[in-house]
Amino acid sequence: MAKKDLKQYVCQNCGAIYPKWQGKCDACGEWNTIQEETLSSEGFSNINAKHSSGKELDFVALSGAKEQIDRRSTGIAELDRVCGGGLVAGSVILVGGDPGIGKSTLLLQVCASVANSADKPEVYYISGEEAIDQVRIRAKRLGLENSPVNLASSTEIKDIITSLKKSDAAVVVIDSIQTMYLSDVDSTPGSVTQVRACSYELIKLAKKKGFTLFLVGHVTKQGEIAGPRVLEHMVDTVLYFEGERGHHFRILRSVKNRYGATDEIGVFEMQDKGLVEVANPSALFLAERQGNISGSCVFAGIEGSRPVLVEIQALVSQSGYSSPKRAVVGWDTNRLSMVLAVLEARCGINLSSQDVYLNIAGGLRITEPAADLAVALAVISSLSNKPLPADMVVFGEIGLSGEIRAVSQPSLRLKEAKKLGFTSAITPTNRASEKKLSEDINLHQIGNVQRLINLFN
Ligand code: TYD
Ligand code: MG
């Protein structure tokens, strides 16, 4: 049969497929993202081409699961925790992040650390972005040049698959999936079809041979992993490596994990000798806090399973604009607008002629609504120019009617605060679990934002 090429038009933003070219993608609404891609009759479509009749499956019972999944420690505790307790054999981990954030550095450190473990596993680091010498220079800088890591520079998936098939690999790193190329697929590296086809081949091999596969993925301007969303569905774990430019802290966050909890974070600090784990992030985030300054409030947050204390800074100043400015770093702008609106409507605080700037110190991004109360207090403190007590932490969600709602795990938050020497806390009212701690830490439980004003009188 003559080889028949299939043409299709794929949105490079969302992966939607069209039979004809069009200017705008109906699925995601983006313009000029649709490109022609060709699938040869072999290659990507061989997924179902060869077994037309199919073979029978062996069905089994639900019982009989292993008590515990075998996990391999990477020797980097922060990464182990984010992965749910270590690397699972045959699992695939996608690591996304902005360019220059430290993905290659982290994974090289992981490779070296695993390669040096007692059972001497085979570890492969395949770079499609950097030449061998570049990786070697980095390894030297990190002091890892003597680790038994197998290094290669390649972008050809077929070569990589052939080499790995022969190996007894335990961990494989592909840096990055957007540079990889499968010659059967006639589109450029980084295109949706290539990324999908290359990942498919690699993942299939990882499952078959039982090695842990790390795929590095670039992110788009919107902060999503470039290429189709399907890539996130194909892998077991998705980790994002984030951090503000100009800060040393790097946060590894799990957004999907088939083998553990999500929203878990690992905290690292980028130093001149690579990434160093931060075992006690609260102490670090609060290290540069200056006491007795208005507009500063310590929020007792939870990231994944771990309590983290961070300083929330607000600056309220007379606006020179007709519509006042609201600028936020590290939190949700809409959430700030909501908190400000509640303060205006329920407490009679006038902010309509004031610019409000909000900053989460240290470069952490907070997503919890539990930070509402701390934000409100920081804003009122800045507006009234009265500092909050330096030894006080705050948490609580604010509702539209001004009520303060309970949040999850209050005792864990208070315990962390106590550990770091805080002596008082403003929290939502009545939660049985908080009572136990109330002797150690001075609790002010409040039910409504109107009560906040009294605190400043
Ligand atoms: P890199 O791992 O190349 O980032 P990515 O792979 O995510 O693009 O990190 C590069 C940055 O990290 C670069 O700006 C320099 C910095 N860096 C250090 O500060 N210390 C180090 O030891 C190393 C290796 C890199
Ligand atoms: Mg890199």
Condensed to tens digits (0 to 9), the pLDDT of residues 368-403 reads 999 999 999 999 999 999 999 989 999 999 999 999
pTM: 0.79
**The two three-digit tokens of residue 374, written as one number:** 């701390």
- Of the residues 279, 295, 330, the one at which a domain ends: 279
Q: Atom 14 of ligand 1 has which residue's CA nearest to it?
A: 100
Question: Does the pLDDT value for residue 87 go beyond 90?
Answer: yes
Residues 172 and 104 in one domain: yes
Question: Does the pLDDT value for residue 310 go beyond 80?
Answer: yes
CA of 273 to the centre of ligand 1 (A): 10
Residue pair 372/343 in contact by the 8 Å Cβ criterion:
no
Residues 6+ apart with CB under 8 A from 153: 126, 127, 128, 130, 131, 132, 135
What's the pLDDT at 313? 94
Q: How many domains does the chain contain in total?
A: 3
365 in a structural domain:
yes
Q: Among all ligands shown, which has an atom nearest to the Cα of 100?
A: 1
Q: Among all ligands shown, which has an atom nearest to the Cα of 130?
A: 2
Residues 164 and 83 in one domain: yes
- Of the residues 257, 279, 301, the one at which a domain ends: 279
What is the Cα–Cα distance from 19 to 10, expressed in whole angstroms?
9
Cα of 133 vs its chain's centroid, Å: 30
Question: Of 71, 76, 86, 239, whose CA–CA distance to 142 is shortest?
Answer: 76
The CATH number for 80's domain is 3.40.50.300
Backbone torsions φ then ψ of 224, nearest 5 degrees? -105, 160
1 in a structural domain:
no
55 in a structural domain:
no
What's the pLDDT at 189? 86
Question: Of 356, 383, 360, 382, whose CA–CA distance to 371 is shortest?
Answer: 360
What is the Cα–Cα distance from 273 to 31, expressed in whole angstroms?
43
The percentage of the chain sitting over the pLDDT mark of 90, rounded to a whole number, equals 52
The CATH number for 316's domain is 3.30.230.10
Q: Atom 10 of ligand 1 has which residue's CA nearest to it?
A: 100
What's the pLDDT at 435? 58
What's the pLDDT at 219? 78
CA of 356 to the centre of ligand 2 (A): 37
Residues 114 and 185 in one domain: yes
What's the pLDDT at 345? 94
What's the pLDDT at 315? 95
- Lowest mean pLDDT, pick from 12-21, 193-202, 240-249, 301-310: 240-249
247 in a structural domain:
yes
Residues enclosing ligand 1, CB less than 6 A?
97, 99-105, 138, 141-142, 270, 272-274
CA of 106 to the centre of ligand 1 (A): 9
Atom of ligand 1 nearest to the CA of 241: 7
Residues 96 and 199 in one domain: yes
Residues 153 and 295 in one domain: no
372 in a structural domain:
yes
What's the pLDDT at 431? 60
CA dihedral 253, 258, 262, 265 (to 10 degrees): -30
Residues 291 and 422 in one domain: yes
Atom of ligand 1 nearest to the CA of 101: 7
What's the pLDDT at 279? 83
In the structure, ligand 2 is a single-atom ion and the residues with CB under 5 Å from it are 104
Residues 440 and 311 in one domain: yes
Residues 337 and 415 in one domain: yes
Looking at per-residue pLDDT, the higher value among 222 and 47 belongs to 222
Atom of ligand 1 nearest to the CA of 216: 6
What's the pLDDT at 43? 47
Q: Atom 11 of ligand 1 has which residue's CA nearest to it?
A: 100
Kindly report whether the peptide bond that precedes residue 176 is cis, defined as omega within 30 degrees of 0.
Answer: yes
134 in a structural domain:
yes
What's the pLDDT at 149? 95
Count of other CB atoms within 10 angstroms of residue 358: 27
CA dihedral 302, 304, 307, 310 (to 10 degrees): -60
Question: Of 423, 390, 417, whose CA–CA distance to 300 is shortest?
Answer: 417
Mean pLDDT of the chain: 87
What is the Cα–Cα distance from 251 to 278, expressed in whole angstroms?
10
Residues 360 and 433 in one domain: yes
What's the pLDDT at 218? 83
**Residues spanned by the domain of 27:** 6-43
Atom of ligand 1 nearest to the CA of 98: 7
Residues 275 and 291 in one domain: no
Residues 288 and 275 in one domain: no
What is the Cα–Cα distance from 279 to 268, expressed in whole angstroms?
9
CA of 110 to the centre of ligand 1 (A): 14
What's the pLDDT at 327? 94
Question: Does the pLDDT value for residue 40 go beyond 90?
Answer: no
56 in a structural domain:
no
CA of 122 to the centre of ligand 1 (A): 25
List, in sequence order, every residue forming a beta bridge with 212; answer none if it has no partner.
171
Atom of ligand 1 nearest to the CA of 99: 8
Residues 427 and 295 in one domain: yes
Atom of ligand 1 nearest to the CA of 176: 6
Burial of 342: CB neighbours in 10 Å, binned 0-12, 13-18, 19+: buried
Condensed to tens digits (0 to 9), the pLDDT of residues 163-210 reads 999 999 999 999 989 999 999 888 888 888 888 899 999 999 999 999
Question: Does the pLDDT value for residue 99 go beyond 60?
Answer: yes
CA of 254 to the centre of ligand 2 (A): 19
What's the pLDDT at 44? 47
CA of 183 to the centre of ligand 2 (A): 23
Q: Atom 9 of ligand 1 has which residue's CA nearest to it?
A: 102
235 in a structural domain:
yes
Looking at per-residue pLDDT, the higher value among 173 and 421 belongs to 173
Pocket test for ligand 1, best of 98, 111, 270, 273 (most atoms within 8 A of CB): 270
Condensed to tens digits (0 to 9), the pLDDT of residues 219-277 reads 766 666 666 567 888 999 999 998 877 778 888 989 899 988 887 889 999 998 899 99
Q: Atom 15 of ligand 1 has which residue's CA nearest to it?
A: 100
- Fill in the DSSP letter of residue 219: B
Q: Atom 22 of ligand 1 has which residue's CA nearest to it?
A: 274
What is the Cα–Cα distance from 398 to 380, expressed in whole angstroms?
14
- Helical pair 333-347 and 372-384, crossing angle rounded to 10 deg: 60
Q: Atom 8 of ligand 1 has which residue's CA nearest to it?
A: 100
Q: What is the mean pLDDT of residues 117-122?
A: 92
Q: What is the mean pLDDT of residues 433-457?
A: 77
CA of 100 to the centre of ligand 1 (A): 6
CA of 252 to the centre of ligand 1 (A): 15
CA of 104 to the centre of ligand 1 (A): 7
Condensed to tens digits (0 to 9), the pLDDT of residues 321-374 reads 888 999 999 999 999 999 999 999 999 999 989 999 999 987 788 889 999 999
- Of the residues 256, 279, 302, the one at which a domain ends: 279
What's the pLDDT at 298? 94
Atom of ligand 1 nearest to the CA of 97: 7
Atom of ligand 1 nearest to the CA of 175: 6
What is the Cα–Cα distance from 77 to 268, expressed in whole angstroms?
11
CA of 137 to the centre of ligand 2 (A): 13
